[in-house]
Homo-oligomer: A and B are copies of this chain.
Amino acid sequence: MSEIAGVTQRLARHVVTTRWENIPSAVRHQAKRSLMNFFAVALAGCRTGPVDIALRSLAEFSGGRQATIVGRRERIDALSAAFLNAAGANVHDYCDTHVRTVIHPTAPVAPALLALAELRRVSGPDFLLAFILGNEIQARIGLAISPSHYSRGWHITSTCGVFGAASGAGKLRGLDEQRIVWALGTAATQSAGLCECLGTAAKSVSVGNAARNGLWSALLAERGFDGPPEPLAGAQGYFRALAETPDLSLVTAGLGDNWEIMATSYKPYPCGFVIHPVLDCVLDWRRDNPVTEVARVVVRGNPLLGARADRPDVSTGRESQVSMQHAVAVALLTGRAGIAQFTDACARDPEVLALRSKVELVRDPAFATIAAEVDITTGDGKVHRMSQTAARGSDVNPMSDRGLEQKLRVAAAGWDNRHDIDPLINAIWTLDSSADVSGLASLAVPAA
């Protein structure tokens, strides 16, 4: 093969030729962390309205019970399972993030591979390898078109995720280079998703489709369904239609040496990231102090905190996710900041309302966006000062493995507090020695 082979072919060759032995151990471990986070957010989203409606609708047309829906006892065909698990994982703004592209990388890829793993036995290393490669391909396509692609209204998780699912599924099926190129072509012609739909159920369709259609692209290619030789960089291809001034060099620069999954961040709380350092302070204080009367809270942070999250009055769960005052109040009252703390009911809880009115904000450019200081005045007049210099989950203070486990525990308990999630946690950490991944997703389903 010549060195001037097209960019699609270069990516396909990377997918085909990369072996488990080529993956550094830090990258292997990060893949497990991404899966831990995936199961947490998928459990958090698995019973929301969009997933409920899509499941009821798909069940009318689906055959068989091939694959698991995370957190639910229903089973469904593999394509629909990929759709539903991706949609559910992304329904809250609680996903992992590839910071430079703002792609949520795991939602489209992991569900495609989990569904495949229930169709045909695959080993843990093969599964992790396919997952890492799917992540890599979509991130690199995203890097080439960022930031203008997203600015134009494209929901980049969806529009790039379909390539991640296609290449990951193609790897797991053992497709050759030509067939991976075909799969990427069928993925390219299904790439879709608009930011205009954020905040509505429709958002979940493009994310679900990224997993479902990427998986299907690989399965079609496996059967000989062909596509063009250069779907990405061709004259009427993906970059021409969906990008402004793509930088193709970013698609292949350092391929096989750098791993974009290492640039993934995970969120400890399902709310705006600017609120995170504030929550770190409040939760740390609350952990060491029993519930007590709070007279006043003064929060100091970067002006961006004010611009994005100074919302003393909110009335819906979605709004509460971008309200610093709500977050402080609910964290003080419950000692938590999980999905259950950002619901419609919680945003209208009289106790929360009473407390959030006591929260004041001081904008101070001396604070970095990932830093904050919180003064909590208790009923006895004492002032307790807490501070955070780098929010948990930020690039310089990544969530710990234990933190990710805890995120999963909380999400699992949110639906069924008898759900023993330890087997899933153990299975994820030991995935590289697993001979068969087919049972992994079902550990995320509570027993009947």
Q: Cα distance A326–B56 when bound, in Å? A: 52
A220 at the interface (CB under 8 A from B): yes
Bitwise, A178-209 to B at CB < 8 A (1) or not (0) is 00001001101111111111111111011001
A334 at the interface (CB under 8 A from B): no
Q: Cα distance A77–B80 when bound, in Å? A: 13
A365 at the interface (CB under 8 A from B): no
Q: Cα distance A217–B220 when bound, in Å? A: 23
**A53 to chain B: which residues have CB within 8 Å?**
220, 223-225
Closest to A61 in B: B77
Report if A203-B189 is in contact (Cβ < 8 Å); known contacts: A57-B219, A153-B236, A153-B237. yes
Report if A228-B196 is in contact (Cβ < 8 Å); known contacts: A54-B220, A189-B202, A203-B189. yes
Closest to A224 in B: B53
Q: Cα distance A49–B223 when bound, in Å? A: 11
Q: Cα distance A196–B195 when bound, in Å? A: 25
**A105 to chain B: which residues have CB within 8 Å?**
none
- CB within 8 A of A63: which of B64, B158, B201, B231? B64
A78 at the interface (CB under 8 A from B): yes
Q: In the bound complex, do residue A196 and residue B62 qualify as a contact, i.e. CB atoms below 8 Å apart? A: no
**A198 to chain B: which residues have CB within 8 Å?**
236
Q: In the bound complex, do residue B216 and residue A197 qualify as a contact, i.e. CB atoms below 8 Å apart? A: no
Q: Cα distance A231–B198 when bound, in Å? A: 11
**A192 to chain B: which residues have CB within 8 Å?**
189-192
Q: In the bound complex, do residue A154 and residue B56 qualify as a contact, i.e. CB atoms below 8 Å apart? A: no
Bitwise, A49-70 to B at CB < 8 A (1) or not (0) is 1100110110011111010000
Closest to A242 in B: B241
- CB within 8 A of A202: which of B196, B201, B225? B225
Q: Cα distance A60–B63 when bound, in Å? A: 8
Closest to A183 in B: B202
CB distance from A85 to the nearest CB of B (A): 15
Q: In the bound complex, do residue B196 and residue A237 qualify as a contact, i.e. CB atoms below 8 Å apart? A: yes
- CB within 8 A of A56: which of B49, B193, B223, B238? B223
A287 at the interface (CB under 8 A from B): no
A28 at the interface (CB under 8 A from B): no
A396 at the interface (CB under 8 A from B): no
Q: Cα distance A224–B63 when bound, in Å? A: 24
**A61 to chain B: which residues have CB within 8 Å?**
62-64, 66, 77-80
Q: In the bound complex, do residue A194 and residue B238 qualify as a contact, i.e. CB atoms below 8 Å apart? A: yes
**A49 to chain B: which residues have CB within 8 Å?**
224
Q: Cα distance A237–B63 when bound, in Å? A: 34
A32 at the interface (CB under 8 A from B): no
**A152 to chain B: which residues have CB within 8 Å?**
236, 240-241
A256 at the interface (CB under 8 A from B): no
A313 at the interface (CB under 8 A from B): no
A335 at the interface (CB under 8 A from B): no
Q: Cα distance A247–B202 when bound, in Å? A: 25
CB distance from A274 to the nearest CB of B (A): 21
Q: Cα distance A375–B64 when bound, in Å? A: 62
Closest to A194 in B: B189
Q: Cα distance A153–B238 when bound, in Å? A: 8
Q: Cα distance A193–B228 when bound, in Å? A: 13
**A64 to chain B: which residues have CB within 8 Å?**
61, 63
Report if A231-B153 is in contact (Cβ < 8 Å); known contacts: A186-B202, A220-B54. no
- Chain A residues with CB under 8 Å of chain B are 49-50, 53-54, 56-57, 60-64, 66, 77-80, 152-155, 158, 182, 185-186, 188-203, 205-206, 209, 213, 216-217, 219-220, 223-228, 230-231, 234-238, 240-241
Known: A186-B201, A197-B228, A205-B217. 13 other contacts (CB 8 A): A53-B220, A57-B219, A61-B66, A61-B80, A62-B77, A152-B236, A185-B197, A189-B196, A196-B236, A196-B240, A198-B236, A200-B226, A201-B225
Interchain residue pairs with CB less than 8 A apart (17)? A53-B220, A54-B225, A60-B78, A61-B66, A61-B80, A62-B62, A152-B240, A153-B241, A182-B202, A185-B196, A194-B241, A196-B237, A197-B227, A198-B236, A201-B225, A202-B227, A205-B217
The 9 closest A-B pairs by CB, nearest first: A63-B63, A153-B236, A202-B227, A61-B77, A192-B192, A195-B236, A196-B237, A153-B241, A196-B236
